[in-house]
Chains A and B, each alone.
Chain A
Amino acid sequence: MMKIKKNIAVSESGFVFDAGTGETYSLNPVGVEIVKLMNEGKNQEEISNYFLSNYEVSQGIFESAYFDFVSILNQYNLIER
Chain B
Amino acid sequence: MEKKFFERPIINKINAGIPDKFGMGNQLNPISTIDGVAVKDLIAEHGSPVFVLSEKTIQDIYQDAYQAFSTRYPKVQFAWSYKTNYIDAVCRTFHKLGSWAEVVSGFEYQKALENGVPGNQIIFNGPDKNEADLRLAIENASLIHIDHFDELYLIIRLADETNKRPKVAIRVNMDNGIYPQWDRFGFNYENGDAWNALNRIMLSKKLDLVGLHTHIGTYILAPFGYGNAAKVLADLAIGLDRKYNHKIKYIDMGGGFASKNTLKGAYLPGSDTCPSFDEYAEAITNALINSSIDPENMPVLFLETGRALIDDAGSLLGSVIGNKRLKDGRRATILDIGVNMLFTSFWYEHIVVPAQATSKYTEDTTLYGPLCMNIDVIRDAIQFPSMKIGDQVVVKRVGAYNMTQWMQFITYRPKVVLIDRKGKVHTIRNRENIDSIRSLEVVPDYLK
Given contacts A28-B359, A75-B329, contact A69 B11 (CB under 8 A): yes
CB distance from A4 to the nearest CB of B (A): 11
Which has the most chain B C-beta neighbours within 10 Å: A57, A61, A71, A73?
A57
Interface of A is mostly: helix
Given contacts A24-B16, A72-B329, contact A56 B5 (CB under 8 A): yes
- Chain A positions 36 through 75: 1 when the CB is less than 8 Å from some CB of chain B, otherwise 0: 0000000000000001011111000110011011011101
Within B1-40, the residues touching A (CB, 8 Å) are 3-14, 16
Q: Which of B3, B9, B13, B328 contacts A54 (CB 8 A)?
A: B3
Contacts of B12 in A (CB 8 A): 25-26
Which has the most chain A C-beta neighbours within 10 Å: B6, B7, B14?
B6
Which has the most chain A C-beta neighbours within 10 Å: B10, B11, B328, B359?
B11
Compute how far the CA of A27 lies from the CA of B31 in the bound complex, rounded to whole angstroms. 26
B75 within 8 A of A: no
User: Are B9 and A69 in contact, CB atoms less than 8 angstroms apart?
Assistant: yes
Interface of B is mostly: loop
Given contacts A71-B325, A75-B329, A76-B329, contact A61 B11 (CB under 8 A): no
B277 within 8 A of A: no
CB distance from A77 to the nearest CB of B (A): 11
User: Are A30 and B13 in contact, CB atoms less than 8 angstroms apart?
Assistant: no
Contacts of B14 in A (CB 8 A): 23-26
Q: Which residue of A lies closest to B359 (CB)?
A: A28
Within A12-29, the residues touching B (CB, 8 Å) are 16, 23-29
Compute how far the CA of A31 lies from the CA of B10 in the bound complex, rounded to whole angstroms. 6
B66 within 8 A of A: no
Within B303-332, the residues touching A (CB, 8 Å) are 325, 328-329
Compute how far the CA of A26 lies from the CA of B13 in the bound complex, rounded to whole angstroms. 6
User: Are A27 and B11 in contact, CB atoms less than 8 angstroms apart?
Assistant: yes
B348 within 8 A of A: no
User: Are A29 and B6 in contact, CB atoms less than 8 angstroms apart?
Assistant: no
B361 within 8 A of A: yes
The 10 closest A-B pairs by CB, nearest first: A75-B329, A57-B6, A31-B9, A55-B6, A69-B9, A28-B361, A24-B14, A30-B9, A56-B3, A65-B8
Known: A27-B9, A68-B8. 17 other contacts (CB 8 A): A16-B11, A23-B13, A24-B14, A25-B11, A25-B13, A26-B11, A54-B4, A55-B5, A55-B6, A56-B4, A56-B6, A61-B6, A65-B8, A71-B325, A72-B325, A75-B329, A76-B329
| Residues in B lying within 8 Å of A, measured CB to CB | 3-14, 16, 325, 328-329, 359, 361
| Residues in A lying within 8 Å of B, measured CB to CB | 16, 23-31, 33-34, 51, 53-57, 61-62, 65-66, 68-69, 71-73, 75-76, 78
